[in-house]
Structure 1
Amino acid sequence: MLHFELVTPTALVRSEDVYMVSVPGSEGDFGVLGGHAPFMSTVKAGELLIYKSAGADPEKLSIEGGFAEVNEAGLTILAEKVG
């Protein structure tokens, strides 16, 4: 499992364990699973795809820019705006 947090300047929007998240990175979309190598990326406006389990249909959330960080604790996205 992957611990996923989605944060805006005003609130913690999500904090949960999920199977995978697909992120609209500024260099291209990327997927993050549990145990992913650490890295940081800027995020462009687009849709986050959140997979609760393997093979599940993704939940889609619109975000507008920000940063994504993958580390030993999981994936944190600092988004300018959600929705």
Structure 2
Amino acid sequence: MAAKLSFSLVAPEREVFSGLVDQVDAPGVEGDFGVLAAHAPFMTALREGTVTVIDGSSRRVFSVKGGFADVTPAGLTILAEEAAEVSVQ
């Protein structure tokens, strides 16, 4: 079984999503990026766009307006200025 990525999406008023997933794609200010388990650490600012959370054949899409993404050995945390779920597929 492939390793899972610990992911948390946090907006000022609440934690919007938290869980173990396969991949997260996000809108960085320098371009879109994807994060898998054991990704090299980095931090970047986010632009307005969508965050796609992939777990097996399931996809959840969240709209974000700015913020920061922090990838550490423990996983990915996105601190968004605004975040809301758009769809579940």
Query: If the TM-score is normalised by the length of the shorter chain, which range does it land in?
Result: over 0.9
Runs of 4+ residues deviating >2 angstroms? none
Q: Which residue of 1 aligns with 2:29?
A: 26
What's the TM-score, normalizing by structure 1? 0.93
Matched, 1:82 2:47: no
What amino acid maps onto 1:18 in structure 2? Answer: V
Q: Which residue of 2 aligns with 1:11?
A: 14
Q: Give the percent of matched residue pairs that are identical in Structure 1 and Structure 2.
A: 47
Q: Please list every run of 5 or more consecutive structure 1 residues that lacks an aligned counterpart in the other structure.
A: none
For 2:17 and 2:25, the matched residues in 1 are separated by 15
| RMSD, aligned CA | 0.9
Bigger strand share: 2
- 3-state DSSP of counterpart to 2:83: coil
Matched, 1:71 2:60: no
Aligned length: 81
What amino acid maps onto 1:50 in structure 2? Answer: V
What's the TM-score, normalizing by structure 2? 0.87
For 1:26 and 1:57, the matched residues in 2 are separated by 26
